[in-house]
Amino acid sequence: MSAEVHQAGVTSSDTTFDLILSIDTVAEKYGTREAFIMQMDLDLPADPAAADAAEELLAEELRAKIPGAVFASGRNIKLLVEDIGGRILTVTASVAIAALLLACLGVGNVVAAGITARGFEFGVIRSVGGAPSVAPRLVLAEITAAGLAAVVVGIALGVHLAWMGVGLYHDLAGLQLALDVPILPTLVGSGGVVIAALLASIPASMSLRRRAPRVLLASGRGG
């Protein structure tokens, strides 16, 4: 059962409401035990406070005229769903950021270990006339390449998982969803990963500038 309701002096965006009557109430008032759900499209004010007041007024009138009726606002349900979704995204984003910070610590340790193991190689580069900045730039270039590779693999995995989710929603729930890859957030996240990796490797790579060639050569092959 559906109805169009237009309240005097109320004009703005449409909002959907569900009016649910219990079976006992329907049996008492209408002589049947069938369940009824009435959906109404209302024109509400754009101001949230005025819209809430109009909803509450309508709910009171419906409860007074139809005892046992349960009044639910589609707008409030939508806000609740958005709030829950926002909280979930906040938690998952926090976990992802924490994982990224831990990964940065791992990158710094790996770079430091690599520099120690390749000290003789960097010493040879310095001994044959290489500038002090050559070795750090080589290390940063390697980290940049590794970061870009991680970005490509991560994006591919994310798109694949999203595509699987679309298929599951279609097969299990019958929902027609479209795969949409947000370009700007993807680029920002990719840049953040590469920059974080570079920042984590800068202290270890810059330490090469302060080491004399003889110190690097003295470390011997393999550190």
DSSP letters, 116-177, are HHTHHHHHHHHHTT--TTHHHHHHHHHHHHHHHHHHHHHHHHHHHHHHHHHHHIIIII----
Whether the predicted model's global pTM rises above the 0.75 cut: no
Q: How would residue 164 be classed by pLDDT, with cut points 50, 70 and 90?
A: very high
Residue 112 lies in a domain: no
Q: Which residue has the tokens 């569900």?
A: 18
User: Of 55, 77, 99, which closes a domain?
Assistant: 77
Q: Is 83 left (phi over 0), alpha (psi -120 to 50) or beta?
A: alpha
3-class SS of residue 98:
helix
DSSP state at residue 13: S
Q: Per-residue b/e over 198-211, b at no fewer than 16 CB within 10 Å?
A: bebbbebbeebeeb
pLDDT tens digits, 73-102: 777 778 888 899 899 989 988 998 898 888
Domain with 192 in it: 118-218
- Measured CA to CA, the distance from residue 216 to residue 180 in angstroms comes to 51
Please tell me the total count of domains within the chain.
Answer: 2
Kindly state whether residue 95 falls inside one of the protein's structural domains: no
Q: Looking at the structure, do residues 45 and 129 belong to the same domain, yes or no?
A: no
Q: Are 124 and 177 part of one and the same domain? A: yes
Of the candidates 77, 96, 126, which is a domain's last residue?
Answer: 77
Percent of the chain whose pLDDT exceeds 70: 82
Q: Is residue 98 part of a domain?
A: no
Q: Are residues 122 and 171 in the same domain?
A: yes
Q: Is residue 163 part of a domain?
A: yes
Beta bridge partners of 21: 69
- Same structural domain for residues 66 and 135? no
Neighbours of 79 (CB within 10 A): 12
**Which of 74 and 21 is assigned the larger pLDDT?**
74
Q: Do 122 and 178 lie in a common domain?
A: yes
Residue 8 lies in a domain: yes
Q: For residue range 171-223, what is the model confidence (pLDDT) as tens digits?
A: 887 878 888 888 998 999 899 889 988 888 888 888 888 888 788 788 766 55
Asked if the structure places residue 82 within a domain, the reply is no
Give the containing element (helix H, strand E) for 111: helix 74-117
Q: In this model, does residue 128 exceed pLDDT 60?
A: yes
Per-residue pLDDT at 9 exceeds 50: no
Whether 127 and 214 map to the same domain: the answer is yes
Say whether both 69 and 138 belong to one domain.
no
Residue 13's pLDDT band (boundaries 50, 70, 90)?
Answer: very low
Q: Classify residue 99: in a domain, yes or no.
A: no
User: What is the spatial distance between Cα 98 and Cα 206, in angstroms, rounded to a whole number?
Assistant: 25
Examine the domain organization and report whether 65 and 130 are in the same domain: no
Supply the DSSP symbol for 67. T
> Would you state the pLDDT for residue 157?
93
Same-domain pairing of 208 and 159? yes
Q: At what angle do helices 74-117 and 48-65 cross, to 10 degrees?
A: 130
* Domain assignment present for 91: no
* Residue 65 pLDDT exceeds 50: yes
- The C-alpha angle with vertex 141 and arms to 140 and 144, in degrees rounded to 5, equals 85
What torsion, rounded to 10 degrees, do the Cα atoms 36, 41, 43, 48 define? 70
Last residue of one domain, picked from the residues 20, 49, 77: 77
Q: Round to whole Å and give the CA distance between 11 and 31.
A: 36
- Same domain? For 70 and 126 the reply is no
Residue (of 76, 122, 136) closest to 219 by Cα position: 122
